Amino acid sequence: MFSKLVVAFALIGIMGFRAQAQETELQRIADALDVSTTKTFQFTANGTMYSLGQSTSPAAPWPRSFVKSMTRIYDFTAGAMRDSVVRMAADSLPIGGEQQAVTVVSGDLAWNVAGNAVSARLFEASERAHQIVISPHGILRAAFANNAGVAKKTIEGREMTVISFTDRGRHKVVAYANDQNAIEWVESSYGSPVAGDMKVVTYYGPYRDFGGIKFPTKIIQYQDGKPTLDVTVTAVSANPPVNIEVPAAIRNNPLAAKSEKIADGVWYITGVSAASVLIEMKDYLIVVEAPHGEERSLEVMGEVKKLVPNKPIKYLVNTHHHFDHSSGLRAYAAEGVTIVTQEINRPYFERAALNSWSLAPDRLAKSKKKPVFQTMGDNMVLTDGTRSVELYQIVGNVHHDGIVMAYLRKEKLLIEADVFSPTPVGAEPPKVPAPSALNLEANVRRLNIDVDRIVSIHQRVVPYSDLLTAIGKKPPAPPTK
């Protein structure tokens, strides 16, 4: 018995020593960044950033922008972050003017700010929150909070301290710190509503002293194997005043669905910055577009049941793979709905379905069901013998190689996403026509379809003449009596 007690105490001592050694190692790295006294942090940078989930095809790089100024501010105690960016598109021709973007996250809520207007982006909350966790200060705070593993490892002839943990079951992190107590790179992942456990690699370049504050001068990041950020840090500030308040519109069910009947058996379902369209067929229903994540799709499906309670949704039409338009389609797949998409998108969605979904398991992942896809080339017709929904690829579009529009011939309705965004009521038409709008009109002529109204997924329902005015074409004169 005595010998067993000696062994037990010895093991406790060893474990205590290891825990103390780990904490000492973590503390040394944390002290180098003054983590214990840093509650908020801000850095300003310039360089290049890329729009995650917005590529012209699933195989293409994320679109690139030149960043004139990027100011990121963290509130570590509140789990909040705000990015204020002035940027210019780098890959589209002609190069446009400067654009300002303000993106915010607080806990599980994410939103964008444009002037006095806010728009919910809850499907992006996980990615934005991940940026807090994998920031140099955030890593150390989360490491202590999650009892991180700490080990020494020789990598390419250098001894590195490897810090590994999973934060609240949502963010998996392995960080590497050098012998100068500086975190050099981070391998991490978070739950994407489109791609499952999204892999992220972040590099922190040479650290320097910014007026007594140690911070990296370069930040380079990749997501899903493609670059998303490459900036040079120009200024930092520790403990700046921060006031990131969640707007009431975001706190109070920002994804609630509202519906408007636009034709017999056709409803426009709004409530967020990207809508859905419900089409009633003889024995079933079709929904066009599933934007803004699983929660929004559940809201839309609830509204669909109110509008047409006795018919099932048979098809979900996805216009293109961009994350704001596809992040809710898996909720329909979990209900057994067939996903209709252009053939260029199918491999990406199928690969996502095979990915691990441990960090943000959705209904489809929990159900163990396999999503059912029906793909199209340049056209497809969904019909029940009474009504037909014609689907066409918008050929030659610069926004996406496989983007699809829907046409209801009897109602002369054209449903489209991203290719034509009507200007606000009363606003002057653009001086330079948008290439996508020009292309849409060219496709309408190519297909010889008669359009009375355009249902814009991002804006509103407008007369077709609005498109003609936007591209500098004179609408046809009304027929003489």
202: its two tokens = 């972040």
**DSSP state, 181?**
S
In this prediction, residue 97 carries a pLDDT of 75
Q: Which tens digit of pLDDT belongs to each residue from 430-448?
A: 888 889 999 999 999 999 9
Predicted local distance difference test score (pLDDT) of residue 424: 79
115 DSSP β-pair partners: none
The pLDDT score that the predictor gives to residue 109 is 97
Residue 47 has pLDDT above 70, yes or no: yes
pLDDT digits over 262-282, tens only? 999 999 999 999 999 999 999
CA-based end-to-end distance of the chain: 109
Say whether pLDDT at 21 is over 90. no
Question: What distance in Å separates the CA atoms of residue 357 and residue 364, rounded to the nearest whole number?
Answer: 10
Tell me the helix, strand and coil percentages in the chain, rounded to 5: 25, 40, 35
The β-bridge relationship of strands 404-408 and 461-463 is unpaired
Confidence of residue 94 (pLDDT cuts 50, 70, 90): low
Closest residue by Cα to residue 51 from 452, 323, 291, 248: 323
Q: How many helical (H) and strand (E) elements, i.e. helices and strands, does the chain have?
A: 11, 28
Give the C-alpha distances (Å, rounded to integers) separating 76 from 73, 106, 141, 243: 10, 10, 8, 12
Contact 93, 100 (CB under 8 A): no
Task: Provide the CB-side half-sphere exposure for 142 (13 A, CA).
Answer: 27
The rounded distance, in Å, linking the Cα atoms of 68 and 323 is 25
What pLDDT score was predicted for residue 475? Answer: 66
**According to the model, what pLDDT value does residue 92 have?**
66
* Single-letter amino acid, residue 18: R
Share of the chain above pLDDT 90, in %: 85
Q: What angle do CA 379, 384, 385 make, to 5 degrees?
A: 100
- Which residue segments constitute the domains of the chain, with CATH numbers given? 24-238 (2.50.20), 253-470 (3.60.15.10)
Contact, 191 vs 173, CB < 8 A?
Answer: no
